[in-house]
Amino acid sequence: MQPENLALPVGITLDRFILRNQEAFRYATGELSQLLRDIALAAKIVNREVNKAGLLNITGAYGHQNVQGEDQQKLDVVADIRFIRALTNGGEACAVVSEERHEMVDTGNHKGKYVVAIDPLDGSSNIDVNVSIGTIFSIYRRLSPVGTPAVMEDVIQPGNRQVAAGYILYGSSTMLVYTTGRGVNGFTYDHSLGEFFLSHTQIQVPKTGKIFSYNEGNLDDFPKLVQEYIASCRAQRFSSRYIGSLVADFHRNMLKGGVYLYPPTRKDPNGKLRLLYECFPLAFLVEQAGGMATDGRQRILDIALHDWHQRSPLYIGSEAMVQELISL
Give the interface with ligand P6P as residue ranges (CB under 6 A): 122-123, 215, 244-246, 249, 272
Distance CA 79, CA 270 (A): 27
Nearer to ligand P6P, 138 or 245 (CB): 245
The minimum distance between CB 248 and ligand P6P, in angstroms, equals 8
**For the packed helices 31-59 and 14-24, what is the interaxial angle rounded to 10 degrees?**
160
Shortest Å distance, C-beta 291 to ligand P6P: 17
Residue 274 CB, shortest distance to ligand P6P, in Å, is 8
Q: Which is nearer to ligand P6P, 183 or 296 (CB)?
A: 296
Which is nearer to ligand P6P, 155 or 261 (by Cβ)?
261
- Closest to ligand P6P by CB, 66 vs 215, is 215
Residue 209 has phi, psi (to 5 degrees) of: -160, 180
The nearer residue to ligand P6P, 150 or 276, going by C-beta atoms, is 276
- Distance CA(276)–CA(152), nearest Å, equals 13
The total of other beta-carbon atoms located within 10 Å of residue 310's CB is: 16
Q: How far is the CB of 219 from ligand P6P (least distance, A)?
A: 11
Question: What's the closest the beta carbon of residue 221 comes to ligand P6P, in angstroms?
Answer: 11
- Concatenated DSSP letters of 133-185: EEEEEEEEE-SSPTTS---GGGT---GGG-SEEEEEEESSSEEEEEESSS-EE
Q: Closer to ligand P6P at the Cβ: 93 or 283? A: 283
For residue 281, what are the CA distances in angstroms to 107, 156, 162, 293, 310? 21, 14, 8, 11, 14
User: Alpha-carbon distance 99 to 259, whole Å?
Assistant: 24
Tell me the closest approach of the beta carbon of residue 209 to ligand P6P, in angstroms.
17
In angstroms, the CA 47 to CA 50 distance is: 5
Residue closer to ligand P6P (CB basis): 139 or 246 = 246
Q: Checking phi first, is residue 275 left (phi over 0); if not, alpha (psi -120 to 50) or beta? A: alpha
Residue 65 and residue 279: Cα distance in Å, rounded? Answer: 36
CB of 259 to ligand P6P, least distance (A): 13
